[in-house]
């Protein structure tokens, strides 16, 4: 019975993961491209860095708080959206960079 | 519009093919928030408040004391760090008010997002004007002249002065403090004789080998970014931690805001701690790897040794002089509402 329950839970998790989308955000010319996105809880956001210098995406939104840390040129960083709501993501180095996220 | 298009076209010829020439041109409008649009009444009221020493605890210090138009909108006193209430020395060099309208973070450490949020801080700071708002607001409300002006500027206030309206009025004036037309602007609009050949060579270095424009970018010669440029080595303490004091984020250790370079010749000494006396020294520090090369925690990756020679630094500083425009036309008030 225990094994059956574990199998069901694993199947459910895999099914949810399979439905999760990955949203690509480029950091290019000191802007997030695109500058706004709508995502679902469980989706991931991958930050590319096409600039020749470092960026550092973060949000202080309580439900979805993250900080990618310094991200060098030509690298990717991925975060997972945890809860529904609207929040802003900024670059810790370049605060003029702003990404508006709506999580459903 | 045609002028701007023409200027951009001419500039495009002068600059490298892959550079967006229009970024150096003055924006069509000064940014202003929806809930505090600039009007002549608000600007005039803000100007009076900005120069009024009664906003300090002992009626001797105004905003202008540390951010004066006759000294490039920074301290009239050339000391490295701001000198405020009863001669108290503040922790940092007075930042310039010039073009703060174009910034989306205020103060050296970016702790305020807007000019409205920034405006009240120095009034209350004990090393600046040392005036609690709980004392100032009743004091202003006893001045009938100010009550009338607030009512005209902000009719919804009905002449009752609050800290919110006070901040809005001061911010409205500060948004008028913008740089005037400098030789660089004439050059960028197509007048190739507006800058000397040496200054033009300096501009090439500025956006080329020296990498200055990586941060000192666009019309305001600042992209608003935050960096640790290696002025100090080892562990940092207190106010030297910069934006890290706002929140202990790793990227914010020892970082400070990239200042505008507009009118930079008027506002020495330089940097957040006022420790740099000349533009030559500042250019050497930023262009050749920082004051300290080693043992600088979280030094910006933009601060690297570009091996700038004395001659190259001289060309860059000559270019920086071309960013100086005439003082903006301003009647400094000497009479205040009673």
Q: How would DSSP label each residue in B189-228?
A: TT-TTSS-HHHHHHHHHHTTTT-GGGTS-TTTT----EE-
**Do residues A16 and A44 make contact, with C-beta atoms less than 8 angstroms apart?**
no
**Matching CATH number, B2-28+183-321, of 3.20.20.60, 1.10.760.10, 3.30.470.20, 3.30.360.10:** 1.10.760.10
Residue A24 contacts B, CB cutoff 8 Å: no
The vertex-B289 CA angle with A96 and B215, nearest 5°, equals 20
Structure tokens at B268: 């020495």
- When CB atoms are compared, the residue of B104, B217, B251 closest to A56 is B251
Integer angstrom CA distances of residue B255 from B115, B144, B297: 21, 44, 10
Judging contacts by C-beta atoms under 8 Å, the chain A residues touching residue B247 are 60
Residue A75 contacts B, CB cutoff 8 Å: no
Structure tokens at B134: 């709980």
Mean pLDDT across the stretch B64-93?
Answer: 92
Catalytic (active-site) positions of B:
128
d(CA B281, CA B274): 12
Q: Residue A98's closest chain B neighbor by CA?
A: B104
For B:4-63, CB contacts with A below 8 A are none
d(CA B311, CA B204): 13
Evaluate the omega torsion of the peptide bond into residue A34 and state whether it is cis, within 30 degrees of 0.
yes
3-state secondary structure B222-266: CCCCEECCCCCCECCCHHHHEHHHCCCCHHHCCEEECCCCCCHHH
Helix (H, G, I), strand (E, B) or coil at A92: coil
Under the banding of pLDDT at 50, 70 and 90, the label for residue A6 is low
Is a pLDDT exceeding 80 seen at residue A16?
no
Residue A53 contacts B, CB cutoff 8 Å: yes
**Do residues B222 and B260 make contact, with C-beta atoms less than 8 angstroms apart?**
yes
Under the banding of pLDDT at 50, 70 and 90, the label for residue A29 is very high
- When CB atoms are compared, the residue of A53, A60, A67 closest to B214 is A53
Domain ranges of chain B: 2-28+183-321, 34-174
d(CA B107, CA B175): 15
Measured in angstroms, the CA of A55 and the nearest CA of chain B are apart by 10
Structure tokens at B196: 């000397």
Residue B249 contacts A, CB cutoff 8 Å: yes
CB–CB contact A93 B224 (8 Å): no
Mean pLDDT across the stretch B262-273?
Answer: 97
Under the banding of pLDDT at 50, 70 and 90, the label for residue A18 is low
Judging contacts by C-beta atoms under 8 Å, the chain B residues touching residue A70 are 250-251
Residue B144 contacts A, CB cutoff 8 Å: no
Residues ≥6 apart with Cβ < 8 Å to B204: none
Structure tokens at A28: 């290019």
- Beta strands in chain B, from DSSP E residues, in sequence order: 226-227, 256-257
Position B296 scores a pLDDT of 95
Position B214 scores a pLDDT of 94
CB–CB contact B251 A93 (8 Å): yes
**Do residues B147 and B169 make contact, with C-beta atoms less than 8 angstroms apart?**
no
Position B76 scores a pLDDT of 86
Residue B252 contacts A, CB cutoff 8 Å: yes
d(CA B220, CA B98): 10
Under the banding of pLDDT at 50, 70 and 90, the label for residue B19 is low
Helix (H, G, I), strand (E, B) or coil at A76: strand
**Do residues B187 and B195 make contact, with C-beta atoms less than 8 angstroms apart?**
yes
Residue B251 contacts A, CB cutoff 8 Å: yes
**Matching CATH number, A21-103, of 2.60.40.1510, 3.10.520.10, 3.40.190.10, 2.60.40.420:** 2.60.40.420
Other CB atoms closer than 10 Å to residue B329's CB: what's the count? 6
Evaluate the omega torsion of the peptide bond into residue B269 and state whether it is cis, within 30 degrees of 0.
yes
d(CA B264, CA B258): 12
Residue of B20, B251, B252, B255 to mutate when probing chain A, most A C-beta within 10 A: B251
* Residue showing tokens 């919110």: B164
Is a pLDDT exceeding 70 seen at residue B111?
yes
CB–CB contact A69 B250 (8 Å): yes
The answer, yes or no, to whether ipTM is higher than 0.90 is no
Judging contacts by C-beta atoms under 8 Å, the chain B residues touching residue A56 are 251
Provide the CATH number for the domain formed by B34-174 in this structure: 1.10.760.10
Mean pLDDT across the stretch B185-193?
Answer: 95
Point out which residues pair with B305 in neighbouring strands: B288
Is a pLDDT exceeding 50 seen at residue B222?
yes
Across chain A, what does the average pLDDT equal? 89
Judging contacts by C-beta atoms under 8 Å, the chain A residues touching residue B104 are 95-96
The vertex-B96 CA angle with B113 and A58, nearest 5°, equals 30
d(CA A79, CA A20): 12
């Amino acid at each position: 019975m225990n094994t059956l329950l574990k199998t069901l839970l694993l199947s459910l998790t895999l099914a949810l993961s399979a439905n999760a989308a990955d949203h690509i955000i480029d950091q290019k010319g000191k802007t997030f491209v695109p500058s706004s996105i709508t995502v679902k809880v469980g989706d991931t956001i991958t930050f590319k860095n096409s600039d020749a210098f470092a960026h550092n995406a973060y949000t202080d939104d309580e439900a979805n708080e993250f900080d990618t840390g310094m991200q060098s040129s030509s690298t990717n960083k991925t975060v997972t959206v945890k809860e529904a709501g609207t929040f802003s993501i900024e670059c810790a180095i370049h605060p003029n960079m702003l990404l508006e996220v709506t999580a459903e | 519009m045609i002028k701007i298009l023409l200027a951009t076209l001419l500039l495009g010829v002068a600059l490298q093919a892959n550079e967006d020439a229009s970024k150096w041109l003055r924006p069509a409008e000064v940014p202003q928030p929806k809930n505090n649009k600039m009007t002549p009444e608000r600007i005039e009221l803000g100007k009076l408040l900005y120069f009024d020493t009664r906003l300090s605890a002992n009626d001797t210090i105004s905003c202008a004391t540390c951010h004066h138009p006759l000294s490039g909108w920074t301290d009239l006193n050339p000391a490295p760090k701001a000198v405020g209430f009863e001669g108290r020395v503040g922790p940092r060099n007075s930042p310039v008010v010039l073009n703060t309208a174009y910034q989306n973070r205020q103060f050296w450490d970016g702790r305020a997002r807007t000019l409205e949020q920034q405006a009240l801080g120095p009034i209350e700071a004990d090393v600046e004007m040392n005036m609690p708002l709980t004392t100032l607001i009743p004091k202003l409300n006893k001045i009938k002249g100010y009550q009338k002006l607030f009512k005209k500027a902000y009719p919804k206030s009905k002449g009752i002065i609050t800290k919110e309206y006070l901040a809005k009025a001061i911010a409205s004036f500060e948004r008028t403090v913008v740089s005037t037309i400098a030789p660089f602007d004439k050059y960028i609009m197509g007048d190739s004789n507006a800058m000397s050949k040496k200054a033009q060579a300096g501009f090439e270095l500025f956006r080329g080998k020296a990498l200055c424009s990586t941060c000192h970018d666009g019309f305001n010669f600042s992209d608003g970014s935050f960096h640790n440029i290696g002025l100090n080595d080892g562990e940092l303490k207190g106010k030297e931690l910069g934006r890290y004091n706002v929140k202990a984020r790793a990227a914010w250790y020892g970082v400070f805001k990239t200042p505008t370079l507009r009118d930079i010749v008027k506002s020495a000494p330089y940097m957040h701690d006022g420790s740099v006396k000349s533009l030559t020294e500042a250019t050497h520090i930023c262009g050749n790897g920082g004051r300290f090369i080693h043992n600088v925690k979280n030094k910006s990756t933009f601060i690297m040794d570009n091996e700038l020679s004395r001659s190259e630094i001289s060309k860059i500083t000559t270019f920086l002089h071309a960013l100086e425009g005439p003082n903006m036309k301003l009647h400094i008030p000497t009479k205040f509402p009673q």
